[in-house]
Amino acid sequence: MHAQPTLQKNLHLQFLARNMMQGFPARYLSQDASQPWLLFWALQSFSALQVGLDPDNRQRSISKIMSWQHSNGGFAGGPGQSPHLLPTYAAVCALAIVGRPGPGGGWDEVDRQKLYDFFMSLKEPDGSFRVAEHMEVDVRGIYCLLVTASLLNIMTPELVEGTATFLASCQTYEGGFSSASHPFYSIETDRVLRSPRPNLGEAHGGYTFCALASWIILQNYLNLDPGTIHPSDSSSRKTPAEEQWSNELTTERPRIDIKRLTRWLVNMQGSEIELGGFRGRTNKLVDGCYSWWCGGSFALLESLGIGGLQNLTAKDVEIDEVVDADQPPDNSGREQHEGWDDIDESLFDRKALQEYILLAGQHPAGGLRDKPPKNADLYHTLYCLSGLSAAQHHIYSSHTRKAETLAEWKDEDSPNNALQKAVFADLVSWVEEEGTSRVIGPSNSNRLNATHPLTNLTITHTEAILKYFYGQDIPPRPFIKTGASKK
């Protein structure tokens, strides 16, 4: 048997440390307007690799992040630049990793009211958002906005009204999602028409992840009882906006075609000759970054009831045995992953994806990449690692944990209490059961930290920032043995 593929953790840590401490070579100049991303990619890569920064570098990171906050709210790509939804997500996620409450910790210095006002200033009549003033509308910006608003507890029905309808309109005939769709407005009523609603661009892995994660966050809004939003206005005349809320929450609930989405997603995984990596569009080549954008989408699909052991019944398991009975006994490599099939009910090939990242995604000089012979960069380093983590760990949204969290919620005297409660419980509900991870290669050294499927932060970092900004208790987690070697 050939040597097991190894994750070169030390080389990758050196690659990250080199960039963090010595700085980025001049070719990274093109990322000058994405400075929060560079820092987030590096910090989250460290987190995935189970390494934290020392206090001095944490503090330097916090100072740098806070220099990107704009006086009008939101975070910019660098000091003196304009606020923009994408760097706002990256900056807030970076703060979730290195920040803390109290003076100099960053968390209390985020101006949440101004951030909320900034978000509202970008909203379009069709429920979408521009990424910055005058700039384009697309589903990446919406994902960034929703994750940020969820983590910082500034979500309101007003903020997300119409957004789910917009997202649904971005699903293409192939099943994945496009960057955006073009709205047509009725001349008589000035309201956006349901149809035609053409997609701008084809189905794409990055946009699909963003749309699907956003869709899941917005279920918390769509599932609200309309009565909890307007408890007293049944007799009064509703404004057009309120009219639309109640429509969206009752009769005209937006829908996506999950079956078609599932089919498209599984078809993004390349065959054995492509080593099982993921592509981002039909008929394009596989690329390591889609390990996360596509590979990471399967955990999200599971929360919609598609795939995953938690969604199976006893009868389903019998059906599996029927399928396998037809297959000749296969001894090639099956023994070494004994028990794999018993617990793996993911709809993609988790083993093959791990092999792609380990065999093709690692650059020999450290860092991860699209594919050979490309160079490593921070973007690919994080999304290869996140994808590898998603293929190792089975993280799912547990109904039990959600119920526990809801039961412990202390009501707030806020008109948004119902939505805040739902968002909080949803984010806290993701769990990993002991013994369900499957690691290709030497498992004590190849294992990564699990990543939260919605935020792409670790579960620990996600819960810490939620706990602070919601001021709520989080039910304790059963201890999971990670088998990780501490550095």
Partner 1 sequence: MNTEQKQEKLLFAERPEWSDVDPIPQYETSTPIAPILYTPQYKDATDYFRAIVKSGERSERVLQLTEELIRLNPAHYTAWQYRYETLLALSSSLQTELELMNELAIKYLKTYQVWHHRRLLITLLRTPQPELQFIETCLRVDSKNYHTWSYRQWLLSHFVDDDDLWRGELEFIENVIGDDVRNNSAWHHRYFVVFGCGVRSGSEDRARIVRRELIFTKQNISLAPNNPSAWNYLRGILDYNRLPYSLCTRFVKPYTLPLDPNTVDIVDLENPPPSRGAELPCVYAIEFLADIHEKAGDKDNILKGVDLWKSLANEHDTIRKKYWEHRIREALQSAT
- Which helix or strand (DSSP H or E) is residue 180 part of? strand 180-181
Contact (CB, 8 A) for 446 and 48: no
Q: Cα(207)–Cα(329) distance, rounded to whole angstroms?
A: 40
Dihedral sign, Cα of residue 143, residue 149, residue 155, residue 159:
negative
**Amino acid identity, residue 424?**
F
Q: Provide the minimum distance between the beta carbon of 288 and partner 1 in the complex, in angstroms, as a whole number.
A: 17
Nearer Cβ to partner 1 (75/245): 75
56 is catalytic: no
Active site (annotated) includes residue 330: no
33 binds partner 1 (CB under 8 A): yes
Provide the CA 347 distance to its chain's centre, in angstroms. Answer: 18
Near partner 1 by CB under 8 A: residue from 327, 364, 407, 476: 327
Measuring CA to CA, which residue among 170, 263, 267, 256 is closest to residue 219? 256
Interface with partner 1 (CB under 8 A), residue from 26, 187, 314, 407: 26
Residue with smaller CB distance to partner 1, 180 or 216: 180
**Catalytic residue (choose from 144, 170, 210, 289):** 289
- In angstroms, the first-to-last Cα distance of the chain is 30
Question: Which listed residue (8, 35, 446, 451) binds partner 1 by CB under 8 A?
Answer: 35
Active-site residue, from 370, 393, 396, 421: 370
Q: Is 342 a catalytic residue?
A: no
Residue indicated by tokens 């900004």 = 469
Distances (CA, A) of 31 to 42, 64, 325, 379: 14, 16, 53, 11
Q: Catalytic: which of 123, 380, 394, 452?
A: 380
Radius of gyration of the chain (CA): 22
Q: Which is nearer to partner 1, 174 or 463 (CB)?
A: 174
Which one among 7, 42, 151, 439 touches partner 1, defined by CB under 8 A? Answer: 42
Q: Which two tokens stand for residue 360?
A: 């093709």
Encoding tokens for residue 411? Answer: 């009501």
Is residue 380 flagged as an active site residue? yes
Residue 117 is a catalytic residue: no
Residue 396 is a catalytic residue: no
Q: Hey, is 286 helix, strand or coil? A: strand
Residue of 89, 207, 221, 290 marked catalytic:
290
Site string for partner 1, 118-157 (x = CB under 8 A): --------------xxxxx---------------------
Q: Could you say which of 54, 190, 326, 413 contacts partner 1 (CB under 8 A)?
A: 326
Task: Scan residues 47-86 and list those touching partner 1 (CB under 8 A).
Answer: 57, 60-61, 63-64, 67, 76-82, 84
* Residue among 284, 351, 371, 374 flagged as catalytic: 284
Torsion over CA: 142, 145, 147, 153 (sign): negative
Contacts of 302 (CB under 8 A, 6+ apart): 308, 310, 311, 346, 396, 397
Q: Which is nearer to partner 1, 204 or 401 (CB)?
A: 204
Q: Is there a catalytic annotation at residue 284?
A: yes
> From residue 464, how far is each of 134, 237, 434, 476 by CA, in Å?
35, 42, 21, 12
- Is residue 370 annotated as part of the catalytic site, yes or no? yes
Give the ranges where 51-204 is alpha helix by DSSP (H).
55-66, 85-98, 112-121, 139-151, 157-160, 163-168
Segment contacting partner 1 by CB under 8 A, of 15-23, 208-216, 233-241, 247-255: 15-23
Q: Would residue 341 show up in a list of annotated catalytic residues for this protein?
A: no
The nearer residue to partner 1, 21 or 407, going by C-beta atoms, is 21
The residue within the footprint of partner 1, chosen from 262, 398, 437, 462 (CB under 8 A), is 262
* CB count in 10 Å sphere of residue 13: 17
Q: Which residues from 329-388 bind partner 1, rule CB under 8 A?
A: 344-349, 352
Catalytic residue set: 204, 281, 284, 287, 289-290, 370, 377, 380
